[in-house]
Chain A
Amino acid sequence: DAGVTQSPTHLIKTRGQQVTLRCSPKSGHDTVSWYQQALGQGPQFIFQYYEEEERQRGNFPDRFSGHQFPNYSSELNVNALLLGDSALYLCASSRPGGADTQYFGPGTRLTVL
């Protein structure tokens, strides 16, 4: 049973560019959440997708957007990259209902130069 997978593992971009990160949830999970973890900090909630809709959003600007596909996989898009967007981006999935445990993928390390 595959866990949560994310791609790519690492990514280097320059300021002003756009980036797309991808996530496949654990088998049987339909809810996907995205988190940003800056160096030395705890993860911060970006948004959550359920039934292909953004269900909840954290305190992140509109430059951060997402999508969920019918197979429950998800993408995180960041436009007009800033140096401060450099971080580890974590995807987590959970079973229907949402109150249950979130399982995390290995993350995508984004570096903005």
Chain B
Amino acid sequence: AQSVTQLDSQVPVFEEAPVELRCNYSSSVSVYLFWYVQYPNQGLQLLLKYLSGSTLVKGINGFEAEFNKSQTSFHLRKPSVHISDTAEYFCAVSEDSGAGSYQLTFGKGTKLSVIP
């Protein structure tokens, strides 16, 4: 069974500083990896995804993530954060649950607070 661990529940960071949100996963098969962002009282918006190919994935709003198979990690990074990046970020893994069904398993989320 797949599982996702987001190592930090809250990350405060000053505006224009770099940030890394950590994500580790466990799975017995090949997986697809995703980062979603959730702003208050809203649904989930896709930031980026890893399906195959290059292990460095670039997403929207200047975010990027690196897939590390040996360490089973998919950490999210941004070199310079803005106030508007304040939100909750979810790492998710997807694998074939059988019959072509790919359900997402999410971590518990990391709340990013950008301090002016």
B99, A55: Cβ atoms under 8 Å? Answer: yes
Residues of chain A within 8 A of B36, CB atoms compared:
104
Interface check B97, CB cutoff 8 A: yes
Q: Chain B interface mostly helix, strand, loop or mixed?
A: strand
B74 on interface, CB distance cutoff 8 Å: no
Q: How many A-B residue pairs have CB under 8 A?
A: 67
Are B99 and A105 closer than 8 Å at their CB atoms?
A: no
Most buried by A among B90, B101, B106: B101
A90 in contact with B99 (CB, 8 Å): no
21 contacts between A and B (CB under 8 A): A33-B104, A40-B109, A41-B108, A42-B90, A42-B92, A42-B107, A43-B90, A44-B106, A45-B103, A48-B103, A55-B100, A56-B101, A58-B103, A92-B104, A94-B102, A98-B101, A100-B51, A101-B49, A102-B104, A104-B36, A106-B42
A97–B100 touching, CB < 8 Å: yes
Residues in B neighbouring A12, C-beta threshold 8 A: none
